[in-house]
């Protein structure tokens, strides 16, 4: 059986087929709802071959979730560096977040699961606290810059406005999925997200609203 698993694992694109099948099942049914049997049937491979690569269902989910978080962060980091102007940088980050959600709905769904899963809903090893913290830190850095430039109301702490903006991004990403399923659902666009955010946090509202 071990030799058979190795032979199957060496088949062309075997690992990619497992990833593709697992992403589809995890995104559709969540961690608990996706079975190894469904994944290996869709990937046209046996369970021993899957275990050869990932060790377990938990290992497979962890690697997929980590890949999703890495891809999203790289796009957000590039967007963050695209402008030194605060509002433009905010808009770029919001745009990158929505582009990621629309272009990678399966990965976006996994990130949602990892971010909001309750205790025991997913393996602890798959929560990727350090990877998720990178995104939060990037947004806090952006907000600290906004406070330093007096673009944001200094009655708020950086972590408070960062949490509010990140929550808006999560909501907008979820809206991408809903609008894909139902075109009549309105979805927030990047500039609208930023205006909505600054409406509550802007230090100089009359100036910001005129932009």
pLDDT value at residue 62: 96
CATH code, 127: 1.10.357.10
pLDDT value at residue 119: 87
CA–centroid distance for 196 within its chain: 21
How distant, in Å, are the alpha carbons of 73, 150, 178 from that of 110? 14, 36, 15
- What total number of domains does the chain contain? 2
Residues 178 and 92 in one domain: yes
How distant, in Å, are the alpha carbons of 97, 118, 126, 170 from that of 181? 19, 25, 27, 17
CATH code, 25: 1.10.10.60
Q: Which domain holds residue 132?
A: 64-209
Residues 113 and 42 in one domain: no
The low-confidence residues of the chain, meaning pLDDT below 50, are 1-2, 5-7, 9-10, 183-185, 201, 207-211
Residues 134 and 107 in one domain: yes
pLDDT tens column, 10-50: 466 889 999 999 999 999 999 999 999 999 999 999 999 99
SS3 (DSSP) at 1 = coil
CA distance 105 to 206: 37
């Amino acid at each position: 059986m071990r030799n058979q698993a190795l032979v199957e694992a060496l088949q062309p694109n075997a690992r990619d087929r497992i990833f593709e099948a697992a992403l589809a099942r995890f995104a559709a049914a969540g961690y608990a709802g996706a079975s190894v049997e469904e994944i290996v049937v869709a990937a046209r491979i046996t369970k021993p071959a899957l275990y050869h690569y990932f060790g377990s269902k938990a290992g497979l989910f962890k690697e997929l979730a980590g890949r999703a978080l890495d891809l999203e962060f790289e796009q957000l980091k590039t967007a963050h560096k695209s402008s030194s102007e605060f509002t433009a940088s905010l808009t770029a980050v919001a745009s990158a977040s929505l582009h990621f959600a629309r272009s990678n709905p399966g990965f976006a769904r996994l990130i949602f699961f990892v971010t909001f899963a309750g205790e025991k809903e997913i393996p602890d090893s798959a929560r990727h606290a350090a990877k998720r913290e990178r995104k939060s830190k990037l947004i806090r850095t952006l907000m600290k810059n906004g406070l330093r430039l007096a673009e944001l109301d200094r009655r708020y702490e950086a972590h408070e406005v960062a949490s509010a903006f990140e929550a808006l991004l999560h909501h907008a990403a979820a809206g991408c999925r809903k609008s894909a399923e139902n075109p009549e659902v309105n979805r927030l666009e990047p500039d609208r997200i930023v205006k909505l955010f600054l409406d509550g946090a802007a230090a100089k509202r009359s100036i910001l609203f005129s932009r």
